[in-house]
Amino acid sequence: MNEKQTDEKEMDERRTVKVSKYLSKHLRHQPERIGLTLDASGWVEIDDLLAATAAHNFRITREELDHVVASNDKKRFAIEGTRIRASQGHSIEVDLALPPATPPAYLYHGTVAANLDAIRAEGLRPMNRHDVHLSPDRETATRVGLAAAGPSCSPWTPVPCTATAMSSTSARTGCG
C-alpha cells in the first residue's frame, strides 16, 4: 500500500467512525435534533434519515450508511427493508421487542475502579440509559468497559454478576 492509499484508508476509517457516532446520537438519543420521529420500535425510513442528515449539514450517502451498518463490530444498527434503527443503547423510550433469553451463570459489567464502591452499595444502575450493559465474558466486558471509560480512565475492572441476581428486580446482590 502506498502513502496515498494509507492516507485514504485512514480518512475512510475516520469517516466511518464519525458517521457511526452521528447515527448513534440521532437514532439512540436525540432523533428530534435533526427532525426525525422514530416509531415505537425505533425504526425510521432510510430516505427520511438521509434527508435529515443532509438538511443538517451532515450528508451521508446510502453507500456510507450501508458500510457503517455492515462493518460495525458491535452491530449497533439494523436495516430492515427501507428502514433503519439502532439495535441497542437507547436513552429514549423504544421497544426493541427482543425475545427473553436465559442468561449464562455469570455476566460481566465493565467499569472503572472508582465506581466499584457505589456498585457494591447500590447495585448496577442504568444511569442515563434504559438498561445496564452486561457481557457474556470478560473479554467483551473489557472491550465495552474500556470504550465507555475512554482511554484516560484506568484501571478498569469487570464486575461479575450471577444470573440469580439478574433475574431479580434489583441487581443489588450477586454483583461485585
Q: At a CB cut-off of 8 Å and minimum separation 6, what does 60 contact?
A: 19, 22, 23, 49, 50, 53, 54
Residue 96 in any domain: the answer is no
User: What is the reported pTM?
Assistant: 0.69
Residue-wise pLDDT for 8-30, tens only, equals 566 599 999 999 999 999 999 99
Please tell me whether residues 19 and 73 are part of one structural domain: yes
* Cell triple for 166: 439478574
Count of structural domains, the chain: 2
Q: Which domain covers residue 17, as residue numbers?
A: 12-86
- How many other C-beta atoms lie within 10 A of the C-beta of residue 49? 22
Q: At a CB cut-off of 8 Å and minimum separation 6, what does 16 contact?
A: 64, 67, 68, 71
Residue-wise pLDDT for 53-72, tens only, equals 999 999 999 999 999 999 98
Residue 142 in any domain: the answer is yes
Evaluate whether 90 touches 131 at the Cβ level (below 8 Å).
no
Residue-wise pLDDT for 102-125, tens only, equals 888 888 888 877 888 888 888 888
Split at pLDDT 50, 70, 90, the class of 1 is low
Please tell me whether residues 46 and 81 are part of one structural domain: yes
